[in-house]
Amino acid sequence: MSQWYPKKGRVIFHVDMNSFYASVETAYNPKLKGKPLAIAGNPEERKGIVVTSSYEARAKGVKTTMQLWEARRLCPELIVMRPNFDRYRTASKEIFQMLAEITSYVQPVSIDEGYMDVTGTEEHGSPIEIAENLQQKIHRKLDLPCSIGIAPNKFLAKMASDMKKPMGITILRKRDISDKLWPMPIEEMYGVGAKTANKLRKFNINTIGDLANADSYQLKQILGINGERLRNRANGIDSRPVDPEAVHEFKSIGSSQTLAEDTTDDSEIRTLMHKLAENVERRMKRKQAAGQSIQIMIRYHDRKTVTRSKKLHQFIENKDDILYFANELFQKHWNTEPIRLLGITVQDVDEKQNIANQLDLFTYEKEAEKEKLYKTIDELSQKFGKNPFKQLHNNDKSEQPRTSFQKDFLDDFKQ
């Protein structure tokens, strides 16, 4: 078995769930199998954006981030469902628990993908046997498909997992990259977005091979320090370890949401600001964290997006402080045009146990009093179900689903 594991180097898996949200819904309701399905945020209230879709829908041209009206034009029989976040998180937790049964070196990077370092796990078989058994186990127990990339580093494993979907297993060794990787268009390289690809194409860098063989000095002129990093990746060089603790590294915690309709209505904006601040507070509490900067994001009806931030004199963690400073930024920078999306983010975040609070006696007493108040409110909230002192800001509107996930739950599988 040892011949499958290098004496030097690593064996890295990238496990990528296929069409995850749609697959979870199909596993939950088998009547959806074989049918074109799209998961979309707020399909009833806005024409909506496709979050993900089944392979049957993709075959009709339906794509992620496509406007729902366009998706329905391409596929009139399209079934559209709202996201069910709790359902997806439950499935994700079970998947990562299966990965952790093979190795403790598991690094989740999102709700539906993660890395594993299986070096030294000969007792589970060869790398290809481990991948096949894992893929079948996930499919058998959860009825969910996944693709797995096997490689000596994270970048190559990520690229390999994309090469065969759904239910694919691909091995990508360094000796294979000139044949398998280099002919691919530059846009298909992980880490190269549309803007970067456009910059590179202006210099006749059209494939991953062109990037791998490009002049380092020229790349630095085009992309700065990122140019050298991408060139190394194109040559199969990536020294990043699979880090199980990486999920705890966070510098910001935020929440954003698209409005049902573009609006300038103060009441509707105020309601959403309260809700976003509440979401951020909940995530801050979950991480036992506080932050020292606040950022507001405003996306207008024409999709123009403005972000503004402010460094604060103190760390903040509760809703009232988050809302106060976010609203201050909003009032200063909103140009009164109709708003499509709002976001609030607390930045420069760290765990409270790492924050040295150098408070004078007066400040300390004030903070101590507030802590007692917050504790009392939390206790009453647990008893009565909701914060009994909160104003009813949402006017009985049902909670709007969002189309992205925070990473603050990705280590739940360890519990």
Residue 410: per-residue pLDDT: 65
Residues, the chain: 415
Annotation marks residue 113 as catalytic:
yes
Q: Which residue has the higher pLDDT, 238 or 376?
A: 238
Q: Considering just the CA atoms, what is the radius of gyration of the chain in Å?
A: 24
Whose structure tokens read 């049918």? 35
Annotated binding site: 16, 112
Domains and CATH numbers, the chain: 1-181+236-249 (3.30.70.270), 182-234 (1.10.150.20), 250-414 (3.30.1490.100)
Compute the mean pLDDT over every residue in the chain, rounded to the nearest whole number.
86
CA–CA–CA angle 112, 69, 398 (5° rounding): 65
183-226 pLDDT per residue, tens: 999 999 999 988 899 999 999 999 999 999 999 999 999 999 89
380-399 pLDDT per residue, tens: 555 555 444 444 344 333 33
Tokens of 268: 């509707």
Which of these ranges, 106-120, 148-162, 207-221, 302-316, has the smallest mean pLDDT?
A: 302-316
Q: What would the mean pLDDT of 8-32 be, rounded to a whole number? A: 95
Main-chain phi, psi angles of 354, to 5 degrees: -95, -10
Q: Name the percent of the chain lying above pLDDT 90.
A: 67
Main-chain phi, psi angles of 132, to 5 degrees: -65, -45
Tell me the torsion sign for CA atoms 5, 8, 14, 15: positive
Q: Which helix (H) or strand (E) holds 201?
A: helix 194-201
**344 to 264, 290, 323: CA distances (angstroms):** 18, 14, 9
What are the DSSP calls for 347-402, one per residue? EEEEEGGG------HHHHHHHHHHHHHHHHHHHHHHHHSS-TT----STTPPPPP-
Residue 152: per-residue pLDDT: 96
Residue 322: per-residue pLDDT: 96
* Sheet-wide strand order for 49-53: 49-53, 37-41, 79-81
Q: What would the mean pLDDT of 55-65 be, rounded to a whole number? A: 94
Annotated binding site for Mg(2+): 16, 112
Burial class of residue 78 in the structure, from the number of CB atoms within 10 Å of its CB (0-12 exposed, 13-18 middle, 19+ buried): buried
Give the integer Cα–Cα distance in Å for 291 and 349: 4
Q: Which of 361, 360, 286, 362 is nearest to 317 (CA)?
A: 286
Do the Cβ atoms of 235 and 210 come closer than 8 Å? no
For residue 15, is pLDDT > 80?
yes
For residue 408, is pLDDT > 90?
no
From 56, 113, 281, 317, the catalytic residue: 113
On the CB side of 60, CA atoms within 13 Å amount to 21
Residue 225: per-residue pLDDT: 87
